[in-house]
Amino acid sequence: MTRRPAVHDERSLRYDPYDFAIHEDPYPTYARLRAEAPLYRNEELDFWALSRHDDVLGAFRNPAQFSNRFGVSLDPAAYGPDAHRAMSFLAMDPPDHTRMRSLVSRAFTPRGVAALEGQVRAIAVEHIEAALDMGSFDFVADFAGRMPMDVISEMIGVPGADRPELRRLADLLVDRQEGLRDIPPAGIEAALAMAGYFQDMVRARRRRRSGDLTSALVDADLDGDRLSDDEVISFLFLMTVAGNETTTKLLANAWYWAWRFPEERRKVLADPARVPDWVEETLRFDTSTQMLLRVTTGEVELHGATLPDSARVLLLLGSANRDEAVFADPDRYDIGRDTRKLVSFGSGRHVCLGAALARLEARVGLHELVTRVADYEVDEGAAGRVHSINVRGFATLPTTVTTRAAGGRQEERDR
């Protein structure tokens, strides 16, 4: 299709990532941005936005011009030269980014992640069987919100008794109040509480190692280079918030969209081997991370306009994954389509370190579900979304299941 380069005219089109209507359904606005304003300008909030696949991918692969040094969020409390304190290497450029990522990446090699599968499966089965025994349950509260938190907690060494509170604090950090364009006071308090918790944990590991990832980070050594306590804390913070929240949303988004598209649901319920395709199409169709911030390092020419030095640029991953120039019939949820060009985990130097772990968790969790569930219903009227500028997904997703019984019979559990 032919698309004309354009810079946005605010009188005819408006994109505000804080708008609750955008949280409910951003995709019609994304389509207009791609068609009418691929280089969009919001004067009030002082940002530009890129919505086309080629532009988003190009910015990911050009960190020399599109910097991470002020973090990935537009929130004033999370944006700035100190963003690395909470976002770790997500808010760094080389050489700091290279150093930090090298020191923490050993636990996320393909072999390291694959070795976690048995543990991930045991955690998934524990929560799935408890939820299925209820028949009707909240897919988020009873499964999708618990499994990733347990996986991350097992990795870093958070005791079981502390996990519900950490999950609550993480939720407070991403949730946004209507009309408030920043992290709310409750979110700031949650961040401080989490930082204090991880500070105590790192101090404890300095005194005595316990075989977990936190202990490994304390001992990490790259030619004599070691992580400081603050660096370990910021990485644990990133793991608990970003790693947990995005996987929770991925699981619930997959469950919801398969329900909304019955033909696609039948594919995976009939053939659990198609679960990996289910995960990948969900990552394309409705990715957990919808937007990431970059800052220009000098002037950048795009679509006939010049972005100034230090311009704030939003990379709209959710829009790029629905770009009709790359994905045919992009608004169709099509399990099995070619998703190799999705940008849900970024690209280039800042490609998501936890991508393999997120995919593993989603594949294992959904596979264990569909081997036990013959069909299910979602109470859409009672479902509720998270209101966040970066993350898209459900806060609650009431579900009723029909389980697979012995001999292939179906049995609805509704107690």
Per-residue pLDDT of the chain (415 residues; tens, 9 = 90+): 444 444 544 458 999 999 999 999 999 999 999 999 999 999 999 999 999 999 999 999 999 999 999 999 998 888 999 998 888 888 899 898 998 888 888 778 888 889 999 999 999 999 999 999 998 999 999 999 999 999 999 999 999 999 999 988 988 887 777 777 888 888 889 989 999 999 999 999 999 999 899 999 999 887 788 889 999 999 999 888 887 889 999 999 999 999 999 999 999 999 999 999 999 999 999 999 999 999 999 999 999 999 999 999 999 999 999 999 999 999 999 999 999 999 999 999 889 999 999 999 999 999 999 999 999 999 999 999 999 899 999 999 999 999 997 544 444 444 3
Judged by DSSP in three states, 67 sits in: strand
In this structure, the dihedral spanned by the alpha carbons of residues 366, 332, 55 and 87, taken in order and rounded to 10 degrees, is -30
pLDDT at 224: 84
Strands (E), 104-222: 136-138, 221-222
Domains of the chain: 20-412 (1.10.630.10)
d(CA 261, CA 34): 25
pLDDT at 7: 52
> Helix, strand, coil: what percent of the chain each, to 5?
50, 15, 35
Burial 22-57 (b: 16+ CB within 10 A, else e): bbeebbebbbbbbbbbbbbbbeeeebbbbbbbebbb
What does each C-alpha distance from 111 to 106, 122, 209, 322, 348 come to in angstroms?
10, 19, 23, 32, 21
pLDDT at 11: 53
Side-chain half-sphere exposure of 318, counting CA atoms within 13 A: 26
The region, left, alpha or beta by phi > 0 then psi within -120 to 50, assigned to residue 283 is alpha
Strands (E), 8-146: 39-42, 47-50, 66-67, 136-138
Cα dihedral 37, 38, 39, 41 sign: positive
pLDDT at 242: 81
pLDDT at 408: 46
Q: DSSP string spanning 273-328? A: GGHHHHHHHHHHHS-SB-EEEEEESS-EEETTEEEPTT-EEEEEHHHHTT-TTTSS
Q: Which two tokens stand for residue 80?
A: 């700035």
d(CA 313, CA 115): 38
